Amino acid sequence: MAVASSLNPEGPQPGHNALEALTALVAGDLETCNRLIVERMDSEVELIPQLAGYIVAGGGKRLRPVLTLASARLCGYRGERHAALAACVEFIHTATLLHDDVVDESDLRRGRASANAVFGNKPSVLVGDFLFSRAFQLMVEDGSLDVLRILSNASAVIAEGEVLQLATTNDTATTEDAYLRVIRAKTAELFAAACRIGAVVADRPAADEEALTGYGLNLGIAFQLVDDVLDYSALQARLGKTVGDDFREGKITLPVVLAFERADEEERRFWRRTMEETDQRDGDLEHAIALMQRHGALTETVERARGYAARAREALAPLSHGPFGGALLEVLDFVVDREF
């Protein structure tokens, strides 16, 4: 992503990006997956499908289930199991979103009111638990202990990453390593698992599982790095997303880590006041963005993302033939260069 162009409303047009191209390749499978999602989030307790439907229908890109579907097809899988497993991945993701929004006290998600803002924190916590349980019920129906192992491990690591993130919040002494440990756990692990189960369901050898795991893990890190840059992007505001959420919450992301490392004493006082004491005033967000730009913190974070995308490309190399391999590689550029 060129940071300058993120301030430019003329970005790539929706309908013409690599993620949509990949999604189109698995359109039929995704339809099955979406149908399963709607069927299986149902419950006699009406509030559950209401709330789950609100967030599931909330305009997500379905990136993680698409990765599962595409990975399975890349591995030559011809059955139907992958659609249910992709739904499991989306349920786990949705459950973590619901709990994240409660933990972060977020009012907006994907440009509209978050589920906790509409329905309250209590049902958000409980419906998250429900979706998480549903994911495991679906995996049990599928019957693969390997998939159950991969996704229960991923779920535990995600929770660890979220707790770790709490420990770094408001701490300007957070290092790049500590930050990377957080995002690897809270975000990249599920990307890795989503891709890996594509190889598992296709019954491919360990080397292929590793290739897809490496692809997913590095893609996930790149994805989160860019997400963290976008939280300081003016274009985001125009797309109806809140900007500066991380700033307001005192969440220490790589742009802050880099800007703080390069800051003079006065700037450090600014970061400590705004991020540690969360004593924030009008104009502070704009000043934070200006400091990040002065020190190249946003462009450098995007460069780091590009580095992880390169690792993902390398990991996938043995499998990157054919339309699915090509589309998965192109998604790497999309993730780094996206502006939304």
- Binding residues (CB under 8 A) for its own copies: these are 43-45, 47-48, 95-96, 99, 102-103, 121-123, 125-127, 129-130, 132-134, 136-137, 139-140, 143, 145, 148-149, 152-153, 155-156, 158-160, 162-164, 166-167
DSSP label of 331: H
CA distance 153 to 159: 10
CA distance 86 to 297: 35
The answer to whether 168 touches 182, Cβ cutoff 8 Å, is yes
Q: Which residue has the tokens 């349980």?
A: 133
Closest by alpha carbon to 169, among 283, 247, 284?
A: 247
Closest by alpha carbon to 206, among 84, 295, 318?
A: 318
Token digits of residue 67: 């990765």
CA 219, 222, 226 angle in degrees (round to 5)? 140
Nearest approach in angstroms of CB 304 to its own copies is: 23
DSSP string of 98-113?
HHHHHHHT-SEETTEE
The answer to whether 100 touches 21, Cβ cutoff 8 Å, is no
**88 alpha carbon, distance to own chain's centre:** 16
Nearest approach in angstroms of CB 156 to its own copies is: 4
Nearer to its own copies, 134 or 241 (CB): 134
Phi, psi of 249 (to 5 degrees): -85, -5
